[in-house]
Structure 1
Amino acid sequence: MTVNLSFVDWVSLSLGMNVTFQDVNGQKTVQIPGMKPDGLVNVCESLSALDSFWPRLCIRAPDQTPLRVMSPAKYTSLNSSDNDANNYYEPYITRVWEKYKKTDMRINTQTAGPNSTAKINSGQTVTCRVGQSDNILHCDNDAGDFNRPVSTDIYGCDSGPFANPPANVTESWSRAKVRPRLCAAFARSTLHLDATQPSFNITSKQYYKEPITNHYSRVVHENLIGGMGYAFSYDDVSPSSSDNSAGLVSMTHPTQLDIFINT
């Protein structure tokens, strides 16, 4: 069984969960505490204090009580003409693209091959460079080429260079690993750092530190107890299985799932 708390679309109820499972020593319970009781209000107020389009993610009742906060991916899907949102990441994208015209981008697949489930320690490194003339990110190890993304590609990680392949197209295993890791690095604004993406040199303490970043994901994590929960589609990209930013629970022999509201 695999289960997680998802705030990929919006924040509303302050949900948490417990998963009880059976192992050789009896029953055990894993708890993902979830959103703080005042998480919705805190996320709404934090985003409302920012400039650009971020305050518009907060949906309020007529008396100004927060009802929910939309993710930037959900917001732009409903407000496609908002140029502040559509162009938000452009300066950071330009900074990254210019950097990797001059130096190699390295992305760890976190696997040794198509049948491996290893993490960083035995992963293969894919090396990429932006072409001077075509402005395309060219990657080796059969990962292929990635066009320059736009902001909305980064919010959802499911369009442009990060789109899933059509049903009739077989994607190489290395590209399937590079695609989410590249988008996660854009969402967290870590691609300007001189390190392989992801790596033990880039921990969650370095996520969202740039002025241009996914502030929705940043403030959602700030209001998750223990910081665990999905705030964008590839929030499970991490250096190791012990760094569980997404709060993903995967196990055999589950016996009970409890969803609760923090009050």
Structure 2
Amino acid sequence: MITRRTLLGGLAAGAAAASGLTLAGRALGSTATTGRAAASLPLHIVNSSGQYANSSIWIYIVGNDGTQQVHVTPDGRLRPVALADNGSDGFTDYAIPLAAGATTTLQLPQMSGRIYTALGSKLKFKAVADGNGKAALAYPAGWVAGDPNYDVLHDCAEFTYNASGMYCNTTMVDMFSVPLALHLSGAKDQTTGTLRDGARAKVFTDVKGAEGFDRLVIGDKRVIAPGHGLDSGLFAKDYLAPAIDEAWSAYASKDLTVTTNAGKFTGRVNGGKLAFTGPGTVAFDKPSTRDVLFCDGTLAAPNDGTLGPVAAILGAALNRSTLTTHTAQPTTDPAAFYQQRLTNHYAKAMHAATKDGKAYGFAFDDVAGFASYIEDGAPKELTLTLTPF
């Protein structure tokens, strides 16, 4: 199964190298040329926001075709990003306007990337040269006060569409602003990301009311993820330290078991490291709060089938505050999640907001199947809906 973390690597590599941004999810997989999926897929954009007319909404489809950074034109053509695309204001204009009617239909070529929605104003994507001198895009960073898109109401969904099928998700890993839902039809009909009635306002209220999380709420525009808040000085760098210390102390005297597709790993803390034996030998230094929130650093998860899956499960357990309380991981009962005082209250609010209980509140939210992610090996069409605010 392709997950968001394997789905998004190529996008992050190009955009982050170009812009200095850390793109959540570590994006986009292979764009193979054999399989069942057609060369392009109908993409429907439906505006049910109730707040903005179609004339005030723009779509951007940007990403990577496996060899270079690209964008999609309004007529469904795939075009490479070029430095010459920057206009007199220093930014590209890759905006796709919505049709006057209720539904806008585009053709989505095979690629990996993001579908951005901008409400009220256009986004400013800047074409820049990456570390290899290739053209790439600096993506919007709504969590950075000095970003040119900071005042624009925007959000995105992520996808990889290749010959093997469509793999897509809504995401709150970086921030939450615009309620979005995805409907994928093909071998079966699937929908994810749909918020409960009134849930957008409740997310803002719940995060603002959680101790230590209040400064992550940026007016009525967005709620930024605590990892980005930490980097911006809006969230405590040691917020999770007592919970992490508690877990490391607990497993100095008892076993922790972690079960992955490779088998069962058994771990103990020794010399400050949480070391596992089993199908392989892996060990982890004690993570920082930032490592947990970004699922990176000591919890980075390579696609190796051994270290990576164990890291992902540990990261999920620490975000969900189940590591100390459950000696067998992954924990699969959502009733056990986010029950401690020190927990990822941002992710908790996101999951409470969605109708199916699934969200991408942090990068390892796919552990045990709680992410707002869907896939289909024989896709027929994809619909992105801006749902009511």
**TM-score, normalisation: structure 2:** 0.55
Please give the secondary structure, in 1, of the residue aligned with 2:335.
helix
Aligned residue among 258, 282, 286 for 1:144: 282
Q: Which amino acid aligns with 2:246?
A: R
In structure 2, relative to structure 1, the CA distance for the partners of 1:157 and 1:33 (3 Å cut) is closer
Work out whether 1:125 is the aligned partner of 2:260: no
Shift of 1:126: 0.4
Inter-partner Cα distance in structure 1 for 2:169 and 2:305: 24
In structure 2, relative to structure 1, the CA distance for the partners of 1:36 and 1:163 (3 Å cut) is same
In structure 1, the partner of 2:168 is 3
Aligned residue among 177, 181, 184 for 2:316: 184
* Identity level (%): 26
Q: Deviation digits for residues 16-43 of structure 1, max 9, x if unmatched?
A: 111011x4xxxx4212252335333211
In structure 2, the partner of 1:19 is 184
Q: Which amino acid aligns with 1:233?
A: A
In structure 2, the partner of 1:163 is 300
In structure 2, relative to structure 1, the CA distance for the partners of 1:234 and 1:194 (3 Å cut) is closer
In structure 2, relative to structure 1, the CA distance for the partners of 1:194 and 1:220 (3 Å cut) is closer
Match runs of 1:45-56 below 5 Å: 45-52=205-212, 54-56=213-215
In structure 2, the partner of 1:230 is 360
Q: Which amino acid aligns with 1:88?
A: Y
In structure 2, relative to structure 1, the CA distance for the partners of 1:92 and 1:31 (3 Å cut) is same
Inter-partner Cα distance in structure 2 for 1:18 and 1:204: 24
Inter-partner Cα distance in structure 1 for 2:238 and 2:171: 26
Inter-partner Cα distance in structure 2 for 1:49 and 1:31: 30
Aligned residue among 195, 209, 213 for 1:35: 195
Q: Which amino acid aligns with 2:283?
A: D
Contact in 2 for aligned 1:15/1:34 (Cα 8 Å)? yes
In structure 2, the partner of 1:119 is none
Inter-partner Cα distance in structure 2 for 1:47 and 1:18: 27
Contact in 2 for aligned 1:40/1:69 (Cα 8 Å)? no
Q: How many residues align?
A: 222
Inter-partner Cα distance in structure 2 for 1:51 and 1:158: 24
Q: Which amino acid aligns with 1:2?
A: Y
Match runs of 1:94-113 below 5 Å: 94-109=245-260, 111=261, 113=262
In structure 2, relative to structure 1, the CA distance for the partners of 1:78 and 1:95 (3 Å cut) is same
Q: RCO (CA 8 Å, sep 6+): is it higher in 1 or 2?
A: 1
Query: Which segments of structure 1 move beyond 4 Å, counting only runs of 4 or more?
Result: none
Inter-partner Cα distance in structure 2 for 1:214 and 1:227: 15
Inter-partner Cα distance in structure 2 for 1:75 and 1:87: 12
Q: Which amino acid aligns with 2:189?
A: T
Contact in 1 for aligned 2:193/2:359 (Cα 8 Å)? no
Aligned residue among 249, 253, 259 for 2:384: 259
Q: Which amino acid aligns with 1:99?
A: A
Contact in 1 for aligned 2:243/2:342 (Cα 8 Å)? yes
In structure 2, relative to structure 1, the CA distance for the partners of 1:33 and 1:164 (3 Å cut) is closer
Give unmatched runs, 5+ long, in structure 2.
1-165
Please give the secondary structure, in 2, of the residue aligned with 1:102.
coil
Aligned-residue Cα RMSD (Å) equals 1.7
Q: Which amino acid aligns with 2:322?
A: T
In structure 2, the partner of 1:85 is 236
Please give the secondary structure, in 1, of the residue aligned with 2:380.
strand
Work out whether 1:75 is the aligned partner of 2:235: no
Q: Deviation digits for residues 97-128 of structure 1, max 9, x if unmatched?
A: 1100000111011x1x4xxxxxxxxxx11011
In structure 1, the partner of 2:53 is none
**TM-score, normalisation: structure 1:** 0.79
Inter-partner Cα distance in structure 1 for 2:340 and 2:255: 21
Please give the secondary structure, in 2, of the residue aligned with 1:41.
helix
Greater share of residues in strand: 2
Inter-partner Cα distance in structure 2 for 1:228 and 1:261: 17
Inter-partner Cα distance in structure 1 for 2:226 and 2:210: 14
Greater share of residues in helix: 1
